[in-house]
Amino acid sequence: MAGETLPPMPPERLIELNDVAVHFSLREGLVRAVNGVSYHVNKGEVLGVVGESGSGKSVTVRSIMRLQPKTALDAGGAIRFRLPDGSVTELNRLPRDGREIRSIRGRHIGMVFQEPMTALSPVHSIGTQIARTYQLHTGASKEAARNRAIDLLARVQMPRPREMVDVYPHQLSGGMRQRAMIALALTCEPSLLIADEPTTALDVTTEAQILDLLRSLQAEFGMAIIFITHNFGVVADIADRVAVMYLGRVAETGTVDQIFYHPKHPYTRALLQSIPRLGQKRVHRLKTIPGMVPDPFNIPAGCVFHPRCEHAVAGRCDVAEPASRTFDGGQIARCHLADSLPELVS
Amino acid sequence: MVGFIIRRIAWAIPTLAFVSFIAFFIIQLPPGDYVTAYAAQLKHSGEYLSPDQEELLRQQFGLDQPIFIQYLDWIGNILLHGDFGRSLEWNANVSDLIWDRLGLTLAISTLSMIFTWAIAIPIGVYSATRQYSFFDYVFTIFGFVGKGIPEFMLALVLMWLGFVYFNFDVGGLFSAEYATAPWSYDRVIDMLKHLWVPVVVLATGGAAGLIRVMRANMLDEMGKPYVETAYAQGLSERQVIWHYPVRVALNPFISTVGWALPALFSGDIIAAVVLNLPTTGPLLLKALQMQDMYLAGSFILILSVFTVVGTLLSDILLAWSDPRIRYG
Amino acid sequence: MTALADDTLISVRGLKKHFPIQKGWLQRVVGHVKAVDDVSFDIKRGETFGLVGESGSGKSTVARLILRAYTLTAGEILFRQPDGSNLDISTLREAELRPIREQMQMIFQDPYSSLNPRMTLLDLIGEPLIIHGRGSQGEIRDRVQELLTLVGLRPEYVSRYPHAFSGGQRQRIGIARALALNPSFIAADEAVSALDVSVAAQNINLLQDLQEKFGLTYLFITHDLSMVEHISNRIGVMYVGRLVEVAPTEALFAKPLHPYTEALLSAVPEPDPRARHARKRVALKGEIADPANAPSGCAFHPRCAYATDRCKAEVPELRDMGQGRKVRCHHADGLSLTGVIPA
Amino acid sequence: MSTLASTAPEDVRQEERLYTAKPWTLIWWRFRKHKLAVASLVLLILSYSGALFADFVSPYRPFDIEKLQTFVPPQSVHLFSANGFEGPFVYGLKRSRDPDTARVIYATDETRIIPVRFFVEGPEYDFLGLIPTKLHLFGLDDPKQKLNLLGTDALGRDLFTRLMYGARVTLSAGLVGVSFSFLLGLGLGAISGYYGGMLDTSIQRLMEFIRSIPTIPLWMGLAAAVPIAWDPLYVYVLITVILSLIGWTYLARVVRGRFLALRNEDYVMAARLSGASEFRIITKHMLPAMTSYIIAALTLAVPEMILGETALSFLGLGLRPPVVSWGVLLQDAQNLRSIALAPWLLLPGVAVVIIVLAFNFLGDGLRDAADPYGR
């Protein structure tokens, strides 16, 4: 229903999610894993999506690729994607195993996963995996595809790409595997790269290398990135804009500066305050968010964050679900009290 | 890879030695020895051996030597001269009796194995990709029942059905007129007419088990992240399934090839007795019943060697198909 | 055995742990993984000593060695007893260790696998009490309930099983178990790494409160440098089984002395978007070395921007640089490295 | 905390019940969901009780020969006759000879209604080997008339009776064989998994070796070496030992795998660091976590043993008459002629299939329920 009344996407817009909902029907009941998520990414832009476990950030990007598990129900919303020729497709309307979505996966949208160990096929060399994607989408010859794989491995700064092309994933270290994974995702120079916690399983020094690599590849290929993470440090490092998710909803979106220096949602504020920072004046206690993330079967009424919110107003926050409100500079927050919160003391 | 194969073969040798010793041990198990049995046989036909004569025979055959020396004699004869000893029951050299039958056994077993795989792999994949569909349930039930029915039972039932409803004796491998005839085109056709029964009997049990293994492996593999990666590359469902999880799910299969063949030999023994096939099974059974121990021991030895070699082959195959093992 | 400084609770000297690498069907030993190689440091009474390093650096093994979960390959572990004397626990046998176990405990990383799912909280938290004969059944139950309250869980949960709890709560159960015998020393191995941001903060605060209340000494192992900066008084940095630098927290973050520390610190992603261009990241070449096949000399030399031929040939010693700082680098005196916080 | 307040007290009680449920309760709750497994469990309990009380349940004795009643087909029990409801009864049999083949053939005589009675007197036996009695669960009043629910064999022996007595041997052989394997497997598997090192390696090699021997020929070879003249009881024990000698490797592998997995669990280390003794760790932490898996593995091993015994006896290498087991009974069905004449002689085979299936279903259900804490 939303699809028909949506305004056309501005020309710089690459992908736009409006009110996307994904539910799972489990034996224990209906899980509303994603419940009204809206965000967008412009061409060549990095959107950081942050949230704790269970916030629905991974499920949302899987619905962009139409890769949700079979138990998932599309519960509404629109996902519009601009193809390189300028036309716009509604991804959420494409059949999951149809020709159209398959021609977009791997070609216009690439994806990098969290566990480089298990996300690459253990029985194929990394070159084979890259070449297969290239041949699939371009119809290139075997020879050309192999050369393409070598070229890509060189571009992700793998040492000795000519040898590495025949190597199997288990022979590589975590960082090298993630490089191979990135090369695979970039095979057809997609206009959008989805990176689902690509550095979470890596050590800090490797993480820094991968972040640098992604940044330089982005400059080189000019693609947009949706970067999912739970680490605010990583977001601050790589994102242009940020979406903060909580319990299947976007609590707040804005530019990276807006989110870090002028957060409007109490959840964003609390999260930012609860992480220890380098060089912070030594405080004895970290600020915490009381309670824990509710389980998905018992989502609180009203604003889903109200039971843990220090600013919650009884009779309002626990009754009505707040609508998204747009503020100066395009910052959007889903909170009744977004403009009346006390100033942050930093 | 070469190093792996060499190491693997190096390990197979002591196993073979040990297996052969066990086979010899089994030959020695029944009370009495060859001479006792020979004497008994002679007595049957009215001749009599005095204890002294028996003792002389024993010395002649080396039966008064310690068991280990006897073993060396036995295995030495086999290895150096291909001489497996003599069958009392048939009054013939063991090696003359077994090779023919082994060939047929091998043919039936191989055919059954191909048949098993041809059924089990597609069905297993189908069941896993269409989990909880109608046919998945049908195949699951087939899997359980197939595993629960002993081969000889299935053979008996098939024979009974064939006899009562089609008035057709499905036993044996040849019709009466071809049983002793030399090989000819008609004889082959006649054999094929009979062959399907043992093949079905042997393949059913195996296929039932393998369908379940394949399905479980596939379900396991399909939940792994690399499958999602393959989808994200833009491959179609069919491409993804056959190129990725099936490749990995087949590995445990490959590792059982080596065991599948001997297991079929084993199954074949019982089924062959019921179906009255001219294969190794009935002969081994008869040898065991008559305590014709050289014949029986030779069979056990040869079957064991097949098993060891089969295991070796499947290990090598597995290393060839799975780089994680090759380089592990 | 040398004397300990008065304020030292634990002194680790020349700690080594080499795991054999076995191969083939006969499990021949073809080499050793030097998981921990010549590690020495002191932990002062009442302080939090942070141990940082990348995966495979051996930091968890150090904690497990100190708690004598493994047998040592070599080294001394001096542990000060309540009566003031000190005891080398590195060679004690399991039975002799039992009284020591009352004084040192561990908090595990994985809140799921570290609690036996088949035991109630009463059995879990009460187990150390039963083993060491601390009171009757009723007394143990009271003590368990008291411990639950202490870690912020409801005392009526005693008869529940662990599967009733979330990750953060399970971690608290683990903390309650560690506290049961009133230990003086607790090793926390990545104690909050598996938890969500908001829950990790709660548990870090709890650990700090407990430290104040009972005067606990922590060995805090983590790969999260912001966390270790927040909680530790002093920090040891490990690389491929060796301690490369020990220093008071502020000094280490302000002015590292080892090139590896500098690189490690500069890699920390800071939650401050404006800082991303201001800060220069020290690019590290290559990958962390394999402890089964560590480079010669200084294990860090293949990745080090300052390495010379000497680094390739000669293993540097852990040198005392004054002001409580130690470093394992040939060129520490000549280098001027940058930290991540103002001095 | 407001989330708690919003849930009904009934839910909270339910939840608390789940949170404080003992491990075995959780396993039982999970097991209960497998309808087929529960049905199999019931069937197996019935079968084993039937075997235990075979002399009471069956109307005759297994060796009672009835020369005039050879190859009687199974008789069906009716409730209604042409006259309406009669209670359970069978029709009388008319015996005649086929004029062409001179074979005995039986036809039901619908004019003779013979009621089936419960708790009737029949041949004397010792109940549970202790109390002499003549009481049988069911039978016919007239000792001249015979009730053959599953027909008779070539000597006129009642197949139902023989099946029940045979169940004693066949069903118990599975259990005895599995207990032997279990002792071997648990012992060696535990040693292998707990101590590791050289000991583990050698046991591993031994198991690999045993697995590379073809099972059935070896069974046959060993079984054939058992002297014919031996006491049937010895033969029985020996056959089960032979079966278990080969079957234990599977159990040992399961046990070793669990031990290895458990030894590396953090909670086992936590217990050690609390000062728990080796004994305490094994009895309080490791064994409770293994029992359910072991029970499942044992359940899945029983049908293998039953099939093994049946196959050996069928071939004449295992138990031999006069011992009655299902495999021995099936010997009568070995040739096509007798099956064509009396297909009901295959019924012991059907019984084997049913029991084997039931054990497989039960084992599968147990295996799925064995870990109630799966994540």
Contact of A104 with chain B, judged by CB distance below 8 Å, is answered with yes
Domain CATH code at residue D240: 1.10.3720.10
Identify whether residues D229 and D323 lie together within a single domain: yes
pLDDT bracket for residue C331 (50, 70, 90) = very high
Distance from CA of C25 to the nearest CA of B (A): 8
State whether residue B11 sits within 8 Å of chain C by CB: yes
Using one digit for the tens of pLDDT, what is the confidence trace for C233-289? 999 999 999 999 999 999 999 999 999 999 999 888 888 888 777 777 777 877 888
Cα separation of B64 and D136, whole Å?
59
Same domain? For D203 and D327 the reply is yes
What pLDDT does A268 receive? 93
Residue bearing tokens 């030894």: D263
pLDDT surpasses 50 at D57: yes
- pLDDT tens column, B24-46: 777 777 666 667 767 776 777 77
Q: What number is the ipTM of this complex?
A: 0.82
Query: Are residues D123 and D193 located together in one domain of the fold?
Result: no
Q: Averaged over C127-150, what is the pLDDT?
A: 93
Query: pLDDT at position D3, please?
Result: 39
Contacts of A306 in chain D (CB under 8 A): 2
Asked if residue D177 and residue D149 are part of one domain, the reply reads: no
> Taking a C-beta distance cutoff of 8 angstroms, is the pair D156, D69 a contact?
yes
Partners of residue B11 in chain C, C-beta under 8 Å: 25
* C70 contacts chain D (CB < 8 A): no
Instruction: Give me chain A's average pLDDT, please.
Output: 89
Interface of C with D in 3-22 (CB under 8 A): none
Q: How far apart are CA A146 and CA D56, in angstroms?
A: 78
Q: Is the pLDDT of residue A1 over 50?
A: no
State the average pLDDT for chain C: 89
Asked whether residue A144 carries a pLDDT value surpassing 90, the answer given is yes
For the cut 50, the answer to whether the pLDDT of residue D371 exceeds it is yes
Report which of residues D77 and C231 the model is more confident about: C231
Report the pLDDT averaged over residues C7-19.
92
Residue A226 has pLDDT above 80, yes or no: yes
Lowest mean pLDDT among A76-80, A113-117, C3-7, C189-193: C3-7
The percentage of chain D sitting over the pLDDT mark of 90, rounded to a whole number, equals 7
Same structural domain, D200 and D315: yes
- What single string gives the DSSP state of each residue in D70-107? TTPPPPPPEEEETTEEEEEEEEEEEEEE-TTT--EEEE
Model confidence at B326: pLDDT above 70: no
Task: Check whether residue D332 and residue D259 sit in a common domain.
Answer: yes
Give the C-alpha distances (Å, rounded to integers) separating D111 from A309, B141, C180, D141: 88, 44, 85, 18
CB contact under 8 A, A301 and D6: yes
pLDDT at D2: 37
Number of Cβ within 10 Å of residue D292's Cβ equals 21
Given a cut of 60, is residue D181 above it in pLDDT?
yes
D332 plus D258 within the same structural domain: yes
Same domain, D125 and D270: no
A229 touches chain B (CB under 8 A): no
Residues D299, D227 share a domain: yes
DSSP C163: G
Separation CA A148–CA C95 (nearest Å): 63
Q: Given pLDDT bands bounded at 50, 70 and 90, which one contains residue D5?
A: very low
With beta carbons less than 8 A apart as the criterion, state whether D30 and D141 touch. Answer: no
Residues B100-266, CATH architecture: Orthogonal Bundle (1.10)
Q: D66: how many CB neighbours lie within 10 A of its CB?
A: 15
Contacts of D7 in chain A (CB under 8 A): 298
The parent domain of residue D303 ranges over 162-369
For chain B, the structural domain boundaries read 100-266
Mean pLDDT, residues A76-102 taken together:
90
Residue B259 confidence (pLDDT) above 70 = no
Q: Is A307 in Cβ contact with D2 (below 8 Å)?
A: yes
Q: Could you report the per-residue pLDDT of A149-184, keeping only the tens digit for each?
A: 999 999 999 989 999 999 999 888 888 999 999 999
Beta bridge partners of A245: A51, A250
Partners of residue A113 in chain B, C-beta under 8 Å: 225, 228-229
Q: What is the pLDDT of residue B21?
A: 81
Q: Kindly report the nearest CA distance between residue B215 and chain A, in angstroms.
A: 18
Of D129, D153, D177, the domain-final residue: D153
Q: Distance of CA A163 to CAs A151, B70, B295, Å?
A: 12, 57, 56
Give how many domains chain D has, as a whole number. 2
Q: Cα separation of B269 and B264, whole Å?
A: 9
In a domain, D242, yes or no: yes
Confidence of residue A267 (pLDDT cuts 50, 70, 90): very high
Average pLDDT over residues D339-343: 80
Q: How confident is the model at residue B327 (pLDDT cuts 50, 70, 90)?
A: low
Segment A287-320, tens digit of pLDDT: 888 888 888 778 888 999 999 998 888 888 989 8
- D190 and D293 co-located in one domain: yes
Q: Of the candidates D103, D126, D153, which is a domain's last residue?
A: D153
Residues 6+ apart with CB under 8 A from C6: none
The pLDDT of residue D6: 44
Put simply, the answer to whether A289 touches C201 (Cβ < 8 Å) is yes
Give pLDDT, residue A4: 58
Best probe of the A interface among B226, B238, B322, B325, by most A CBs < 10 A, is B226
Tens digit of pLDDT for each residue in B261-285? 666 666 677 778 888 788 877 888 8
Of B56-70, B136-150, D119-133, D144-158, minimum mean pLDDT range: B56-70
Most confident of A108-112, B147-151, C96-100, D7-11: A108-112
- Shared domain check, D221 and D118: no
Q: How confident is the model at residue C215 (pLDDT cuts 50, 70, 90)?
A: very high
Question: Domain boundary at D122, D153, D184, which?
Answer: D153
Whether residue D331 lies inside any domain: the answer is yes
Identify which has the larger pLDDT, A77 or B252: A77
Percent of chain A with pLDDT over 70: 97
Q: Which of residues 199-238 of B touch A (CB under 8 A)?
A: 224-226, 228-237
Residue of D nearest to C28 (CA): D198
Residue D9 pLDDT? 63
D168 and D90 share a domain? no
How much of chain B, in percent, has pLDDT values that exceed 90?
4
Instruction: Give the pLDDT of residue B273.
Output: 81
Give residue B269's pLDDT: 75
Quick check: C281 contacting A, CB < 8 Å?
A: yes
Which of B280, B283, B265, B274 is CA-nearest to residue B170?
A: B274
Segment C216-220 mean pLDDT: 95
Question: Does residue D109 lie in a domain region?
Answer: yes
Q: Which of chain D's residues have a Cβ under 8 Å away from the Cβ of A301?
A: 6
Instruction: Say what the pTM is.
Output: 0.85
Distance from CA of C32 to the nearest CA of B (A): 17
Task: Reply yes or no on whether the pLDDT at D185 is more than 90.
Answer: no
**What pLDDT shows up at residue A38?**
93
C161, C131 Cβ separation under 8 angstroms: no
Share of chain B above pLDDT 70, in %: 85
> Cα separation of D93 and D109, whole Å?
5
Q: Do A119 and B236 touch (CB under 8 A)?
A: no
pLDDT (0 to 100) of residue B255: 66
B69's CB contacts (< 8 A; 6+ apart) are: B62
- Residues of chain D contacting C64 with CB distance shorter than 8 Å: 269
Q: What pLDDT score does B179 carry?
A: 67
Q: Spell out which residues of chain A touch residue B230, defining contact as CB-CB under 8 Å.
A: 121
